[in-house]
């Protein structure tokens, strides 16, 4: 309710909500964080800070987000007792359990989606940025949409 009142009385928000960003603000640019293949084929993203984000977000915060994402993907693809157990059980049932059971990888992907949503709400949306979940881009890139900054002063 307060949110709606805010939108009515203050058309130029200094703090943007995720909903507003997606619906109203025009896109200024799109930044793509590419994959980092130095560890092999596992899903890792480069932590190099893109030049286009220099004015918008702190370098350390960006690196923390990417590092956390990398660790979550590493957890999804980790070879350990749990994944071997899942694999052996699947093999014995002729892989039919994949039809009814959610795999460990899928569970971690849900965790990643929640983390990205959380990061967007707390850190990126207030700065006019939006992280796109890499799974929506085929795990090729982390896409960051940079919205035009309508705020009159520095963002809170």
Partner 1 sequence: MKNCEYRQIDPQVLSTPTPPPTQCAEKTPKQVRRKWEVFPGKNRFFCDGRIMIARQSGVLPLTLLLILFTSSLFFIFDCPFLVKHVTSCIPVIGGVLFTFVVISLLQTSFSDPGILPRATPDEAADIEKQIDSSSSSSYRPPPRVREVLINQQVVKLKYCFTCKMFRPPRTSHCSLCDNCVERFDHHCPWVGNCVGRRNYRFFYTFIVSLSFLTAFVLGCVTTHLALRSQGGKGVISALQESPASALELVVCFFSVWSILGLSGFHTYLVASNLTTNEDIKGSWSGNSGLQSAGNPYSYNSIFTNCCAVLCGPLPPSLIDRRGLLPAEDSPAAAPAPPEIELLGFGAKTDINMEDSCQDFAVSCTG
Structure token digits, residue 113:
């989606």
Q: What is the 3-state secondary structure (H, E, C) of 38-101?
A: CCCCCCCECCCCCHHHCCCCCHHHHHHHHHHHHHHHHHHCCCCHHHHHHHHHHHHCCCHHHHCC
**Residue tagged 């590419």 (tokens):** 34
The residue among 138, 146, 145, 147 whose CA lies nearest residue 35 is 138
Minimum separation from the CB atom of position 102 to partner 1 (A): 10
Could you say whether residue 25 binds partner 1 (CB under 8 A)?
A: no
Q: Which is nearer to partner 1, 13 or 97 (CB)?
A: 97
| DSSP summary character for residue 29 | E
Minimum separation from the CB atom of position 156 to partner 1 (A): 29
Q: Which is nearer to partner 1, 43 or 57 (CB)?
A: 43
Binding segment toward partner 1, per CB under 8 A, in 4-12, 38-46, 54-62, 118-126: 38-46
Minimum separation from the CB atom of position 133 to partner 1 (A): 11
Residues that bind partner 1 in the complex, under the rule CB under 8 A: 30, 32, 35, 37-41, 76-79, 83-84, 86-88, 90-91, 94-96, 98, 103-106, 109, 135-141, 143
């Amino acid at each position: 309710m307060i949110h709606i009142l805010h939108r009515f009385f203050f058309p130029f928000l200094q703090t943007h909500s995720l909903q507003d960003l997606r619906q109203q603000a025009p896109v200024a640019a799109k930044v793509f964080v590419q994959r980092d293949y130095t560890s092999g084929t596992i899903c890792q993203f480069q932590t190099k800070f893109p030049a286009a984000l220099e004015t918008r977000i702190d370098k350390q915060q960006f690196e923390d987000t990417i590092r956390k994402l990398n660790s979550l993907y590493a957890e999804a693809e980790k070879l350990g007792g749990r994944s071997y157990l899942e694999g052996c059980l699947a093999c014995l049932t002729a892989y039919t359990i994949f039809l009814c059971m959610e795999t460990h990888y899928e569970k971690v992907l849900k965790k990643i989606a929640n983390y990205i949503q959380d990061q967007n709400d707390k850190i990126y949306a207030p700065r006019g940025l939006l992280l796109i979940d890499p799974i929506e881009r085929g795990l090729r890139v982390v896409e960051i949409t940079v919205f035009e900054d309508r705020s009159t002063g520095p963002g809170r």
